[in-house]
Chains A and B, each alone.
Chain A
Amino acid sequence: MAHVFFGYFAGMIAITSILVVALRNPVYSVLSLLVMFFHVAGLYVTLHAEFLAAVQVIVYAGAILVLYLFVVMLLNVKREDRYHSQWRIAAFVCIPLSIEFLVLLSGNMRAANRQPASLPVEPHVSDNTLAIGQTLFSTYLFPFEVASLILLVAMIGAIVLAKRDIGENEAKDMTRAPGAQ
């Protein structure tokens, strides 16, 4: 049964991730990425990470992809006609990577499958959210604070980058605009 679920989720994730790269229209790319995020969330549920699945749906599918769709529709992106001419470089990078991956995997498949029997398997924690919270606020407290600093820097950076530069002329226009109307 677990294999059936894994096969469904893995197949859909692989297909939609290839569609993200292959589709020419950016809106369709974003929508197939949305489908991929939902299936990744389903894969997290099968891996006993329920809280992470909820966070995946809320943050990735709810916040990040809405931001992408907003920018795609704001900029009125047309579909591109052809791919970049760097596809030879892409082939040179990816073919050795995939070959190396296959070699490593065929060598280590037996070792990886044998490993769980030797590990001390703890009884599974029933409350995933409670366990994550305790781990996050005890062991990983300092990285948690650093993550909040990253979010602050990103927020300030996005505001500074995306705001319109108010030069001399535009500032005059902005002060004059309400009086003119």
Chain B
Amino acid sequence: MTVPVSYYLILSAIVFLTGVVGVLIRRNIIAILLSVELMLNATNINFVAFSDHLQDLGGQVFVFFALTVAAAEVAVGLAIIIALHRSGSTINIEEFNLLKW
């Protein structure tokens, strides 16, 4: 009576695709970072589902490492957003073309 692992794969793919679409269509940098969080959570769901499916704790341990990277990404990303807002007083990504040539 257990849920097959392919259902978790479908759920994870839906969340991941939503995150990809969010990165591509949003203009707000904070919304883009939120979409990256969505993608990280989709991979975490996959890790835990396979950890339960294969009876191996390595998947859950890797979720910890993904969570560490997510925390680091949020700290550095929000610091960059604050620095951008201080220099340009906007966080719309179309206003920033400093690295474009």
Contact = CB atoms under 8 A, between A and B. Distances in A.
Interface of A: 1-3, 6, 10, 13-14, 17-18, 20-21, 26, 29-30, 33, 36-37, 40, 43-44, 46-49, 51-52, 55-56, 59-60, 63-64, 67-68, 71-72, 74-75, 77, 80, 82-84, 86-87, 89-90, 93-94, 97-98, 101, 105, 108-109, 112-113, 115-116, 119, 121-122, 124-125, 131-132, 135-136, 139-140, 143, 147, 150-151, 153-155, 157-159, 161-162, 164
B68 A150 contact: yes
Given A14-B11, A26-B30, A44 B48 contact: yes
Nearest to B66: A147
Interface string B62-80: 0111011111111110111
Contact of B55 (A59, A122, A140): A122
A94 B39 CA distance: 14
B10 A89 contact: no
Nearest to B37: A33
A90 B20 contact: yes
Given A52-B60, A64-B70, A18 B25 contact: no
Contacts, number: 215
A73 to B, nearest CB: 11
Interface in B3-44: 3-7, 9-11, 13-15, 17-22, 24-28, 30-31, 33-35, 37-38, 41, 44
B78 to A, nearest CB: 5
Contacts of A108: 6
Contact of B3 (A2, A67, A98): A2
A21 B22 contact: yes
28 contacts: A2-B1, A2-B3, A3-B3, A17-B15, A21-B21, A33-B38, A36-B41, A37-B41, A40-B44, A49-B51, A52-B63, A55-B67, A67-B78, A71-B81, A75-B30, A75-B91, A77-B28, A80-B26, A90-B20, A90-B21, A90-B25, A94-B21, A101-B13, A125-B57, A136-B64, A153-B72, A154-B75, A164-B86
Given A68-B78, A121-B55, 6 more contacts: A2-B2, A3-B3, A49-B52, A86-B24, A87-B24, A125-B57
A83 B25 contact: yes
Nearest to A140: B61
A36 B34 CA distance: 12
Contacts of A84: 24-27, 93-94
A64 B75 CA distance: 8
B1 to A, nearest CB: 6
A178 to B, nearest CB: 23
